[in-house]
Amino acid sequence: MARLIFILAIIIVYFLTIVSKNTLANKYTVYKIEPLNTILDDKDTISTLFQDDFEDGNLLGWEQTEEWEVSSTEKISGAYSLKHLSKATSGFSSIFHPMAADCNAFDLEWAFKLKNGNWDPSSTNRFWFYLSADTIQTNLINGWAVGVNLTGNSDLLELWRMRSGKPDSLIIQTDLDWNNSILVTIDVKRSAQGIWSFTYRKAGETDSTTFSGTDLMVPNFRNIGVCFNYTPTRAGLLWVDDIVVKVSPADVSIQKLIVINSHTISLTFNKPINKTSLQLNNFKLTDENNLTIPILGITQDKVSNQVFEIQLGQVNGVQLSLSVSGVADLSGKTMNPMILSFPFSFLPEAGSVLINEVLFNPPTGGDDFVELVNVSETPVSVHHLKLAARNDTLALKQIYGLSTTIRYLKPGHYLTCTKDPQLVIPFYISNDPETFCILKSFPSYPDDAGSVVLLNDSLEVIDELSYTAKMHSPFLTNVNGVSLERISWTKPTSDHNNWASAAGSAGFATPGSPNSQTETKTQTTENIHVEPIVFSPNGDGFNDQLTIRFSLDKLGYIANIRIFDVVGRQVKFLVKNQSLAQEGSWIWKGESDSNQRLKLGIYIILVELFDSEGYTKTFKKICTLTDRLN
């Protein structure tokens, strides 16, 4: 049915064209269309959209004809050819004919003949045929052109993409070096998928030469035309003849794939699709590890029957491959199987990445950092993220991208953003250099108060923390070099109670590592454990140090640890007002406050815990310092 409607439309236009030649020729531009159908199989039809051999002796339907004529002088074939008019001046002449075709839905073919006089092309004497032009204003044309010396520096016959009136991208370069008095038959084909074929044959030769290329641009096809740039001695010495433009229904193919979000991709087909052919088993999606990604459903766009959205299950990979087969157009023509490989890259969504740790008052010689964590179920594209700050009116300022290269953050992984990792890593015992992301420019985060804003490329806020130095523990006498750590991923970023100073027991910051102030999921009670109870710090590699491990019921404790001998004299103040993580440990190597090795014997370890609410608790543990017996 679709094929019948298509052919019928061409016949109607042809009929109107013939009638209009006598009655409307002086009022309207008339399309010269002669239908010529060749059946390839039960679904494919080649149709001639346009044909002009100029044998009718006029330029009916052509525009900008002032410098062109239908002439029998040195014609190419038949009785007449299109010829440039002789002039006594140099110039730039063009002639166009309206022509329209859907480059996505049809395969296209252009055939024509070109001839020049006894002159060699140059930068001032050059010519080309517009296969497609979206306007007849030559300085604005977007489309495709075949010719010689389009750029002014090559006599080879070439196919170019045109953008804003200028050659933009060379698609095909042939081996034909155009010179004096050459007549060439040219045949150019383009598939709806952007695959080009270019064939030429010189007059008097039986062999033809074919070249190929690719260009995925799809311009608005509104005109075909000829352009001639000439000097006075070359004017009038260019001929064109036997122009034919044909179309045939293109194979069903995917024109565009867009990753919309973490669970949706959009497919745009090159023609209307029979939605009953969109079965789940016609699609298979895998990641770079060849793991299959579930496809949960397919829905049609509300406006277009060429656009469909595919709903995905959980995606763990970053480079995906979609296999599609069995999809048919409205005529029942089924697509050839296609495999599309694409990065799983989309604008990160609000809440998918959280600000997890911030150092805004670095130690002397150190640098700020912002640690992020991916709390979603899919990899997040780091190259679509930006860090920013806010000014006094809360407007965004200092917006800087995190990465200029493609990079992904896997679920549950950390990303430590800073300007120079070597000004962060040496200051902290808990860090992971693999997580660092180097920014050429870093927002300014003041020591007293500020805003850390995480954005995507559309400047949508993904997460934001407004901080003050007062959020640090009141027990800290110096907060330089101490980061603020997020306690819970499920509680709001804006909740100041969800942030705490990094524990001193963990080194005051944990860039790229789990936060020291993260709540444990299991309920615990305070527990202090000493091991081994008997230790011998003699350097023999066996029980050389004492480890004091702690596991606490909550965050926010401050610890003091003092060590006494058996007569009650304090010999070591091991820990003084240290903020704690919920779990951790301390090491004692049997030394005194003056770093002298203590005598062998029994020692008492006193651990005192207190918090900002006045809660206190004391633990006493006993250990024995010994040595080998000689």
Which pLDDT belongs to residue 29?
25
Averaged pLDDT for residues 411-426:
96
The residues that bridge with 587 in the sheet, in sequence order, are: 547
Phi/psi at 543 (5° precision) = 50, 50
The letter for the amino acid at 491 is K
Looking at per-residue confidence, does 33 or 62 come out higher? 62
- Spatial separation of the C-alpha atoms in residues 564 and 562, rounded to whole Å: 7
- Spatial separation of the C-alpha atoms in residues 208 and 211, rounded to whole Å: 10
241-254 per-residue burial string, b: 16 or more CB within 10 A, e: under 16? bbbbbbbbbbbbbb
| CB distance 540 to 554 below 8 Å | no
Number of other CB atoms surrounding residue 501 within 10 Å:
22
pLDDT exceeds cutoff 50 at 40: no
State the pairing for strand pair 307-312/295-300: antiparallel
Residue 316: exposure state from Cβ atoms within 10 A (0-12, 13-18, ≥19): middle
Q: Considering only 87-96, 433-442, 515-524, which range has the smallest mean pLDDT?
A: 515-524
What percent of the chain is helix, strand and coil (3-state, nearest 5)? Answer: 10, 45, 50
| CB distance 115 to 208 below 8 Å | no
pLDDT exceeds cutoff 90 at 74: yes
pTM over 0.75: no
Looking at per-residue confidence, does 218 or 340 come out higher? 340
User: Using one digit for the tens of pLDDT, what is the confidence trace for 424-458?
Assistant: 999 999 889 999 999 999 999 999 999 999 999 99
For residue 44, name the pLDDT band (cuts at 50, 70, 90). Answer: low
| CB distance 265 to 312 below 8 Å | yes
Domains of the chain: 2-249 (2.60.120.200), 254-343 (2.60.40.1220), 353-506 (2.60.40.1260), 527-625 (2.60.40.4070)
For residue 155, name the pLDDT band (cuts at 50, 70, 90). Answer: very high
- Spatial separation of the C-alpha atoms in residues 386 and 383, rounded to whole Å: 8
| CB distance 246 to 46 below 8 Å | yes
| CB distance 7 to 37 below 8 Å | yes
For residue 505, name the pLDDT band (cuts at 50, 70, 90). Answer: confident
Q: On the CB side of 454, how many CA atoms lie within 13 Å of its CA?
A: 30
Looking at per-residue confidence, does 375 or 24 come out higher? 375
Q: Considering only 29-38, 406-415, 493-502, which range has the smallest mean pLDDT?
A: 29-38
Which pLDDT belongs to residue 552?
87
The letter for the amino acid at 14 is Y
Averaged pLDDT for residues 499-524:
83
- Spatial separation of the C-alpha atoms in residues 468 and 133, rounded to whole Å: 60
For residue 525, name the pLDDT band (cuts at 50, 70, 90). Answer: low
For the chain, what percent of residues have pLDDT higher than 70?
A: 91
Mean pLDDT over all residues of the chain? 89
